[in-house]
Amino acid sequence: MSFNKCSLCVWCWLALVYIMIAFARPLPAETLIMAVGLALPPYVIKEGDKGMELDVVREILEKQGYTIHPVYLPLARVVEHMADGTVDAALTVNEAAGLNNAFFSDSHITYQNSVISLAKHNFQIESVNDLADKSVMAFQYAKIYLGAEFAAMANNNGQYSEKARQSTQIRMLFAGRVEAIVLDTNIFRFYRNSEKKYVDTSQPITSHNIFPPSHYRVAFKNKTARDEFNKGLEALKRSGRYDEIIRQYIQP
């Protein structure tokens, strides 16, 4: 065998080894740009890039070969960015958001919204209609997510408003600037503790539980990513890891 033929065999062998090594490596993870609510602790905590909802979604997608790049936005802009295709996925949404071209996952998280008032007012709030004559501050997009009856009350109540930053709700309630706030009970507990340096949050409150649970989903631009997420969500719950993540943020 000539020197040239030997060299050719060596180079072919090296090329074959290189190809085998290249294909043996795991494929790089696909990055999903994800619109995430700006202020939803303990579900989403921008500082630290964590939270029980965000941790659940991240762990599921990482196990399916994805990485996520969260983009923190007010809730209204979360929907807008998903609708115009700026992002690949969006958190804490459901079919009520009107994202007709999105692929919705199975429900991955449940919020329990409530009306909170100061106990000293002794309000009897047993239905949405009981809010019609009160100053009410709700979370952004509450009119969309809390149903037609709530939307009608909000549209006819000149004292109704919504805020993207829910810490503002807590300050306004305990400062006596509004009579009632509408938000998730876990978010209320989080901000009641963190806002005590700005306002007296030790005042007794009444929680008026007039809303059913709100089941939220992840909206995906891509059906394959949605399907893989659903498989991962089922596996995470079956393994007990889902409950483990939740317990890191909420004590039973």
Encode pLDDT of 41-83 as tens digits: 999 999 999 999 999 999 999 999 999 999 999 999 999 999 9
Nearest-5° Cα angle at 33, 77 to 60: 110
Percent of the chain with pLDDT over 70: 88
Which of 174, 193, 50 lies closest to 116 in space, CA to CA? 174
Percent of the chain with pLDDT over 90: 87
DSSP class of 239: H
Between 187 and 19, residue with greater pLDDT: 187
Cβ neighbours of residue 181 closer than 8 Å, sequence gap 6 or more: 115, 116, 117, 136, 137, 138, 169, 170, 172, 173, 188
Q: What topology does CATH give the domain 30-110+214-249?
A: D-Maltodextrin-Binding Protein; domain 2 (3.40.190)
Place of tokens 């659903």: 230
pLDDT(164) > 70: yes
Domains of the chain by residue range: 30-110+214-249, 113-208
Q: Which residues partner with 184 through β-bridges?
A: 113
Residue 43 dihedral angles phi and psi, to the nearest 5°? -75, -45
Q: What topology does CATH give the domain 113-208?
A: D-Maltodextrin-Binding Protein; domain 2 (3.40.190)
Given this model, what pLDDT does residue 7 score?
53
DSSP class of 3: H
pTM as predicted: 0.85
Which of 146, 195, 148 lies closest to 169 in space, CA to CA? 195
Q: Are 210 and 28 in contact (CB under 8 A)?
A: no
Given this model, what pLDDT does residue 19 score?
38
Q: Are 37 and 73 in contact (CB under 8 A)?
A: yes
SS3 at position 220: strand
Average pLDDT, the chain: 91
Residue 232 dihedral angles phi and psi, to the nearest 5°? -70, -35
Check whether the bond before 252 is cis (ω within 30° of 0). no
Contacts from 234-241 at CB under 8 Å and sequence distance 24+? 234/106, 235/63, 236/56, 236/59, 236/60, 236/63, 241/59
In our burial notation (b when 16+ CB lie closer than 10 A, e otherwise), range 74-107 reads bbebbbebbbeeebbbbbbbbeebebeebbbbee
The pLDDT of 145-173, averaged and rounded, is 97
The pLDDT of 172-196, averaged and rounded, is 98
The pLDDT of 110-136, averaged and rounded, is 98
Take residue 7 and report the two structure tokens written for it. 């060299």
